[in-house]
């Protein structure tokens, strides 16, 4: 029959209020001694064990810190793995779709998903990086999905994108680039100024009208459906990138150096 820790040892571990995984490790060591029938386990007493553990931790605090850090890192990696797995099961929904905004080569053989939020500072910082990737990879096709996670300007921008790509497709690339090169905090007035600058005042009036009534409700529903899809895919922040064809190695969350994305694009054959 499997032995359990002596009651006084278990009580001493509980009294220390150590992190669960650290206490479990110490308990396993103590139990191993008990199972081996050594005098070490048999000689434990509550106060002595208490004092020994405290003394060891005081003399070797880095051991406890290393244990906690390793535990946190393992939990974070497990969460990232779960997020990546959730996205990969839905990747096709992000790679294909009618009238999705596309940057780079629309007929390119390598597709990269890019999830962005117009109010996201890190997304805007990635704009020159993306332009560089497009220039260096003639087979790169970037499918954009606009999130509305951060501010009212995020949602307004996502709604405007729906209209611009439908009504003014020839102006979409300039609108995207000009909007994402704004340096100040984004608000709705700034989005309107970009519309007027890139497409014109008449287009701004038309887009404002399209954002009302039944048409406005249709556009709002499309934006909401995209956000719901992002949450199901465990994408809760921006920027997010996925290079198709290389599995989880092609997933990048946050603003990352261009060489990391380029390595995934090279594997997928975007330079060819």
Question: Could you tell me the pTM of the whole model?
Answer: 0.74
Q: What does the pLDDT average to over 210-235? A: 91
CA distance 211 to 16: 60
pLDDT tens by residue, 36-77: 444 444 455 567 777 777 777 778 778 777 777 877 777 776
Give, as one character, the DSSP assignment of residue 186. Answer: P
Q: How many CB atoms lie within 10 A of CB 151?
A: 17
Please tell me the predicted confidence (pLDDT) of residue 28.
Answer: 53
Residue 1: pLDDT band by 50, 70, 90 thresholds? very low
pLDDT tens by residue, 122-159: 999 999 999 999 999 999 999 999 999 999 999 999 99
Residue 8, judged by CB atoms within 10 A of its CB (0-12, 13-18, 19+), counts as middle
């Amino acid at each position: 029959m499997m032995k359990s820790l002596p009651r006084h040892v278990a009580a001493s571990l509980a009294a220390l209020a150590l992190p669960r995984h650290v206490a479990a490790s110490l308990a396993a060591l103590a139990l191993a001694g008990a199972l081996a029938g050594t005098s070490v386990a048999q000689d434990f007493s509550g106060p002595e064990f208490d004092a020994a553990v405290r003394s060891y931790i005081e003399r070797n605090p880095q051991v406890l810190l290393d244990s906690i850090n390793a535990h946190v890192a393992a939990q974070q990696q497990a969460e990232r793995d779960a997020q990546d797995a959730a996205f990969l099961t839905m990747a096709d929904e992000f790679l294909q779709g009618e009238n999705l905004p596309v940057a780079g080569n629309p007929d390119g053989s390598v597709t990269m998903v890019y999830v962005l939020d117009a109010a996201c500072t890190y997304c805007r910082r990635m704009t020159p990086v993306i332009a560089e990737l497009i220039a260096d990879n003639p087979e790169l096709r970037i499918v954009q999905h606009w999130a509305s996670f951060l501010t009212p300007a995020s949602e307004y921008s996502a709604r405007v994108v729906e209209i611009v790509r439908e009504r003014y497709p020839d102006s979409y690339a300039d609108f995207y680039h000009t909007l994402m090169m704004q340096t100040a905090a984004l608000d709705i007035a700034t989005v309107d100024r970009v519309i007027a600058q890139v497409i014109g005042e008449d287009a701004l009036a038309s887009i404002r009208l399209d954002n009302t009534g039944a048409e406005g409700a249709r556009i709002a529903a499309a934006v909401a459906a995209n956000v719901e899809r992002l949450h199901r895919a465990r994408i809760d922040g921006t920027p997010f990138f996925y290079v198709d064809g290389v599995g989880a190695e092609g997933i990048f969350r946050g603003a990352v150096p261009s060489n990391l994305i380029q390595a995934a694009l090279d594997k997928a054959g975007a330079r060819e």
